[in-house]
Structure 1
């Protein structure tokens, strides 16, 4: 078994238990691929054909509004899955782009391969059901998140995802928060002042 598979097998083992034979069957269905920084895994207008698991690096999923503004939906770091499942399930052109923010390594798996694996290895269906449920919960939280004020969004982001700042540009963080970079800088400055007062 290649060392490349360690991360994904460890992730699966946190949710379900696979036999060695099942692990081999699953790994044989994966496609390993490297993407350079700023390279696209998916571009709007294309039909999404794979689910992506990040081994190393960072990916960003975003759409571009009619006025040209980028709206970041999610990021995916190590051990995270990312895809456009609506496009994949319905064979419809995607409205999203998925771009590598860093030089990245991923595993790709297609919808048809997954469907076969669900039948052959029921535990994998259970694993992906858990992954999809977690994604659905995150989407619900994201909807509530977007209804908060810019300051509330920023404070919640820093509390839960402050470590993102070490790997992402201010522009992309602002895009995720749904604010301008200038607003982000203002909020960061205010937070710094508030922290100074509390010392």
Structure 2
């Protein structure tokens, strides 16, 4: 079994050992090299992914060729393109490994079948989705704030992971230039008077 995932599930619902074993038996472990893709723009997202080691970034490329990071996923996080997953439409996002990464993947159809046989699992994913939705709402609000507030929010959310992210990816996530990020980091490092 997968202790990290089992603990994640236990935070939200109780699932008996047999049902947990049934669920885990449907998961496939996928190992990625740095820069390898889990999902590429134009393909349909048919899996949900739980990161057990490493980290990924979810981003889009705008019409000027600029990458815009919208989300990071590290150990103990689920990630996918929810819209593509739900509508079976081509994704506008890429999900790429930032470092050597291992994920557990489950196919949408398999998960839907498990929801019928293991109702507590459906409850778990319902709660996870609620949390993800709340985070997206928060992200939308934060993007409307001044850069210094966006950076403070980023540090609150991802600060413990900041040293694993490139300056370019952090700047892209915040919607600012690398130079602006350097200024914000210098400002944050200054002792308050």
**Shorter-chain TM-score category?**
over 0.9
Greater mean deviation of Cα atoms: 58-67 or 154-163: 154-163
Give the 5 Å matches for 1:115-194: 115-193=112-190
Give the 5 Å matches for 1:1-199: 2=1, 5-193=2-190, 195=191, 198=193
SS of the residue 1:105 aligns to: strand
Cα deviations by residue, 1:90-124 (Å, 9 ceiling, x for unpaired)? 11100000000010111000110111010000000
What is the deviation of 1:21?
1.3
The count of corresponding residues between Structure 1 and Structure 2 is: 193
TM-score (norm 2): 0.96
Cα deviations by residue, 1:178-197 (Å, 9 ceiling, x for unpaired)? 1110110112222333x2x5
TM-score (norm 1): 0.93
Gaps in structure 2 of 5+ consecutive residues: none
SS of the residue 1:134 aligns to: helix
What is the deviation of 1:39?
0.3
Gaps in structure 1 of 5+ consecutive residues: none
Q: Which segments of structure 1 move beyond 6 Å, counting only runs of 4 or more?
A: none
CA distance in 2, matches of 1:20, 1:155: 41
Greater mean deviation of Cα atoms: 34-43 or 5-14: 5-14
- The alignment's C-alpha RMSD in Å is 1.1
What is the deviation of 1:19?
1.5
What is the deviation of 1:34?
0.5
Greater mean deviation of Cα atoms: 149-158 or 127-136: 149-158
